[in-house]
Amino acid sequence: MTISTKVLIIGSGPAGLSAAIYTARAGLEPILFQGSQPGGQLTITTDVENYPGFADIIQGPWLMEQMTKQAEHVGTKVIYEHVTKIDLLKKPFIAITDSGNHYQAESVIICTGASAKWLGIESEKFFQGHGISGCATCDGFFFKGKEVLVVGGGNSAVEEALYLTNHASKVTIIHRRDSFRAEKILQERLFKHPKISVIWNHTLIEAIGNTNPKIVTGAKIQNTISGVISELNCDGIFIAIGHKPNTDLFKGQLTIDNEGYIITQPDSTRTNIEGVFAAGDVQDKIFRQAVTAAGTGCMAALEAEKYLSGLHC
């Protein structure tokens, strides 16, 4: 079965849903695919305090549920399928889903986001959202006056550690090597900061805490040289080993940088293919916030509307 639409939106996080709301209100009747993680990264985020418009703390899954309802209310058709293949090299664009349906589109807005890289240990998953986080900007406020650990050694880890000094009383970085990969200027700032200490040649092997309620109280770390295991007290753990943009579907078609992010034109969401736009974390490796993702989703919608107007004038 082949279904046609003017606007096809892939991804259902803040970027995708904002794009859907704007294109639907423009009368473009968009089709949005929920994908493999409906709601994006906010569905695994518990307390959200930095999204504008809410005086009290809200829950990430609730926010995504409300945005989805809003998108549907104004005319978006939400499809609970996953796009497995897409052809962007000829027009109209064709997307094929896991159910075998074919969707034909005049324009495509890509909002597939990025996934935080995790260590893969069992306790990490158990305490995720309850003391373990992958975003200091999102969750740092909840550790005001507390002691936290940061795991990693690149720019992300050093930037997260420096940011956390605005809230935490003490920040300890754990790195598996004896030197950082981060930019030298960031390292200089970090080494000079009185709140930050570094533990070299160690890896996190287990988060320690209570189960009811879930709360992190410490960590088990292992020396990568001697193998000796030790314990540290802490109130939170931030995993900062990078993000992986979800762009495998578009490789060989769109221009992508060496980290896997879709490259868009300056001050725009336009990609190298006319009629294809990218918004949110799939093309933003700097800010990675729900509100900035929503903003670029709005931009993509407005640019798609302008593009389609040119086709039909």
**Active site residues per annotation:** 135, 138-139
> Do the bridges between strand 236-239 and strand 229-233 make them parallel or antiparallel, or are there none, so unpaired?
unpaired
Q: How far apart are CA 248 and CA 96, in angstroms?
A: 15
Give the whole-angstrom CA distance, residue 241 versus residue 27.
Answer: 42
E-assigned strands of the chain?
2-10, 31-33, 47-48, 58-59, 77-79, 83-87, 93-97, 102-110, 114-116, 132-133, 147-151, 170-174, 196-199, 202-211, 214-223, 229-233, 236-239, 243-245, 276-278
Residue 283 structure tokens: 């093309």
Whether 102 and 112 have beta carbons less than 8 Å apart is answered as: no
CB atoms within 10 A of CB 92: 16
Look up residue 3 and give its two tokens.
Answer: 């279904």
The C-alpha atoms of residue 243 and residue 240 are separated, in whole angstroms, by 8
8 Å CB contact between 221 and 229: yes
Owner of token pair 């996953």? 82
